[in-house]
Amino acid sequence: MAGKLTNKDKRVAKLLRIAPWLTFLVSSVPLPLVFLLMFLGSAATDSAAVYLFLAGISLGLGVIVGLVLIMLLYLYRRNWLAKLRDRLAADGITATEVDWFEQELTTHERETRGELTTQNPVLADAYVETLAARLTASRVIAKADRELVLVRRRIGQARNISVAATTSLRSDLEADQKRLDSVKVEAVARLAEAKERLQVIEAAASRNLTENETDAMLRRLSATREHLPLTMEMEKLEREALQEAHGNLNASGLGQTIEKTH
């Protein structure tokens, strides 16, 4: 299911965490162990020497094969997690999904989150929720930047074509660029709000607030939010702009093809 973490995802993630080490043990231990047991049970000196030699050789080869398999599984796991994060972020990152974006957090954010979890669970929940908003805004900005690069490249290509039919195409591309710029500006503003909220929570935690003071502070933070959650609002802006951009590009490309056939 798009945007949702499934039990299958959890099982696969757990398996990919332990698979490299299991693979290493399976590839490097059994065969040398067999030769070692044969060496210990051998009565002849010549046979014992051969078994000991084979045990050493098989151990070395097994270690090499195990390391190669660990590297391949690590690359596969990294690629799988990247695709999973993209899918989870498709409808906005929620507080319960922040753990899957651990590597996108700064060192300070990880340390602060850990401290708040042990010292003030109420503030920790607010901090994680704000981290989700920060991650979502950062991803929207990054994706808007990538789309802007593509749109600007298409605009440059269209300007190099001296065909009257490209006038409409350039107009559509420039409109797409404006929409993406607007999405980026909005996302930057939301990112600034999320970072400011993180600092407010950190400051509140450093003052060792009482439970009542913490609740009051959280109510003030909640009062500054829009009616739509930040994650959903960001995703909505991004999806509408990009879908419209792709629709215009497809329509313009079809129109240009028809024009050329005439």
d(CA 89, CA 232): 10
Structure tokens at 122: 């109420």
Q: Distances in Å between the alpha carbon of 228 and those of 19, 231, 236, 237, 244? A: 41, 8, 10, 12, 21
Provide the terminal-to-terminal Cα distance of the chain, rounded to the nearest Å.
Answer: 45
Domain range for 17 is 7-90
Does 238 share its domain with 108? Answer: yes
Does 101 share its domain with 163? Answer: yes
d(CA 90, CA 57): 50
Nearest CA among 232, 227, 188 for reference residue 92: 232
Q: Is the pLDDT of residue 240 over 80?
A: no
Quick one: which H or E segment has residue 98?
Answer: none
* Mean pLDDT computed over every residue of the chain: 79
pLDDT for res 74: 93
Mean pLDDT of 239-256: 54
Domain end, chosen from 35, 57, 90, is at 90
Domain end, chosen from 34, 68, 90, is at 90
Are 136 and 205 in contact by the 8 Å Cβ rule? The answer is no
Nearest CA among 163, 225, 236 for reference residue 190: 225
**pLDDT one-digit tens code per residue, 59-96:** 889 899 989 999 999 999 999 999 999 888 888 888 88
Count of domains forming the chain:
2
Q: How many CB atoms lie within 10 A of CB 120?
A: 19
pLDDT for res 261: 46
pLDDT for res 131: 93
Does 84 share its domain with 100? Answer: no
**pLDDT one-digit tens code per residue, 160-198:** 775 655 677 778 888 888 888 888 888 899 899 999 999
Percentage of the chain with pLDDT > 70? Answer: 75
d(CA 18, CA 21): 6
Helix axes 121-159, 107-119, angle to 10 degrees: 160
The alpha carbon of 196 is separated from its chain's Cα centroid by a whole number of angstroms, namely 23
Does 48 share its domain with 75? Answer: yes
Percentage of the chain with pLDDT > 90? Answer: 18
Q: Is the pLDDT of residue 15 over 60?
A: yes
Entry pTM: 0.67
pLDDT for res 260: 47
Are 52 and 35 in contact by the 8 Å Cβ rule? The answer is yes
pLDDT for res 71: 94
Structure tokens at 80: 């799988």
Report for 29-38, 40-49, 65-74, 218-227: range of highest mean pLDDT: 65-74
d(CA 234, CA 186): 8
pLDDT for res 38: 83
Confidence of residue 241 (pLDDT cuts 50, 70, 90): low
d(CA 261, CA 43): 88
pLDDT for res 163: 60
The alpha carbon of 107 is separated from its chain's Cα centroid by a whole number of angstroms, namely 16
- Inside any domain, residue 121: yes
Mean pLDDT of 27-53: 81
Does 68 share its domain with 197? Answer: no
- Inside any domain, residue 1: no
Does 127 share its domain with 150? Answer: yes
Does 99 share its domain with 210? Answer: yes
Q: Distances in Å between the alpha carbon of 104 and those of 95, 99, 131? A: 14, 10, 10
d(CA 198, CA 192): 10
- Inside any domain, residue 192: yes
Q: Is the pLDDT of residue 245 over 60?
A: no
- Inside any domain, residue 2: no
Residue with tokens 């009257």: 164
Q: Distances in Å between the alpha carbon of 231 and those of 103, 221, 236, 250? A: 19, 16, 9, 28
Residue 114 or 249, more confident: 114
Q: Is the pLDDT of residue 227 over 50?
A: no
